[in-house]
Amino acid sequence: MGNQPTITILGTGYVGLTTAALTAAAGMKTYLIDPNPTRLESVRAGKSFFYEAGLDSLVADGVANGRIIPTPVYAEAVLQSDIVISAVGTPDNPDGSSNLNYVFAAASEAAQYLKPDAVYVQKSTVPVGTGNKIRQLFMNAGQNRAYVSNPEFLREGTALADSLWFDRIVVGGTDANALAKVMQLYKDIESNRTAIAGLAGLSAPANYQSGAYISVALESAELIKVTANAFLALKISFANSIALLADQTGADILEVMDGVGADKRIGRAFLNAGRGYGGGCFPKDVSGLIAAGLEHDVSLEIMEAAQAVNEGMPGYIIEKLQDALGGSLEHTEVAVLGLAFKAGTSDIRRSPGMHIANLLTQAGSAVRVFDPKAGQEAAGQLDERVAIAESIEQAIHDAGAIVVATDWPEFVEYTPQAYAAQLQGGIFVDAMNVFNAQAFSAAGIHYIGIGRSGNSKEHAVL
């Protein structure tokens, strides 16, 4: 343990706190800096301020053994650290470009205290070219420090698992020694993976293959992350575009995408039609990539189209429900199940479920919502007329229609008969395309999927 680096991580969000929990669990002394006293108090109490499976166990262990040290003071942490990792927020500006105020503020503050041999690592998702600006910032401050781009690829809800059983670790920069130090940090985590996973209560995914360690140019590393997310968002919007056509032609989008995804050159992952993508990454990274293209006189029209399709899906789903109700949503009690942008997290940023609930309320529906983890976070951003239920049953009882907008296991495993027993109007909108349409029809429920208007059999690979 004695030869391991001391780490400082700037930011306690999904990326920062997950990374801190892992470095501490691998035996590294880890300072965690955040200006938000509420977040720091949560960490000191051994808890994450957001829900992420297994994270609280690691945070509590790291705090208890003194390896996680929460502090708002840069001087206390950075002066002692061999590696400083920036994981601060990068919200988007009104024009879609990335707001880098926090990124540059963190770098400016850290520059005052960096040791001569320290490595500054950028883990936040930033536009290509940001690294060179920060390197110049260091030079202007008289601090010629090594800079490494190390984009993250974790998914909320599976952040720890994605970090422990990674597809790839990407580092970019010009200092070979600095790149090696950052690579070694992850190799140390990997060598302790079994023990860390046991403490977090996680199991290795089936058929996991060893992840790749990839060293590239600084600019390439910056572009890899945002391009990966933009491509996944593009696959979702592509599937939704075909779903619109399937609704008009009687095809079943699940059958279509199963057939398309069976082509190994394409693959089935993310070819999922439904209410569209949300969260803190895909929408921001798509708009950020479009803005970066415009900054360099490159028009990324394909991403603009993907963005437009995604933004239209909640409204399209509501139109389908309105048609099923005879043309009006007024005075109809609608239950919306799912407020988090995806299952496994409490994050409601850019959540389609939130948008659907608010749009239904504005259209005159009486809306009740339920989410197993995100109800508290959602309270301040829902229309004040929306009622937040404390259970599935409370949300759906005597509802005229149900919209499932997040595929939480609690919703998916709830049987068609159980839904039918609570429903008054008999309309069930599967905005995630995860339910068995025939089973709901057999239970006497009017099932509405996205791109599933045909009378095709349930999809299967024979």
Which residues are annotated as catalytic?
281
DSSP conformation class of 92: B
Burial environment of residue 88 by CB neighbours within 10 A (0 to 12, 13 to 18, 19 or more): buried
Phi, psi of 157 (to 5 degrees): 95, -25
Give Cβ neighbours of residue 22 (< 8 Å, ≥ 6 apart): 58, 160, 163, 164, 189, 196
Buried b (16+ CB within 10 A) or exposed e, 103-130: bbebbeebbebbeeebbbbbbbbbbbeb
Q: Is the dihedral of CA 315, 362, 331, 426 positive or negative?
A: positive
Contact 188, 26 (CB under 8 A): yes
Element of type H or E holding 379: none
Give Cβ neighbours of residue 62 (< 8 Å, ≥ 6 apart): 20, 21, 24, 25, 30, 68
What residue has token string 């993250």?
Answer: 152
> Six-digit token pair at 158?
């599976």
Which residue, 262, 279, 277, is CA-closest to 159? 279
| Amino acid making up residue 102 | Y
Which residue, 347, 409, 278, 372, is CA-closest to 50? 347
What residue has token string 């057939």?
Answer: 259
Which residue, 432, 419, 258, 254, is CA-closest to 356? 432
Element of type H or E holding 439: helix 437-442
> Six-digit token pair at 337?
């199940």
Structural Rg of the chain based on CA atoms: 23
Q: In whole angstroms, what is the distance from residue 386 CA to residue 140 CA?
A: 52
Q: In whole angstroms, what is the distance from residue 349 CA to residue 90 CA?
A: 13
Residue 43, CB half-sphere, CA atoms under 13 Å: how many?
29
Q: In whole angstroms, what is the distance from residue 285 CA to residue 273 CA?
A: 20
Contact 149, 222 (CB under 8 A): yes
| Beta carbons within 10 angstroms of residue 6's beta carbon | 20
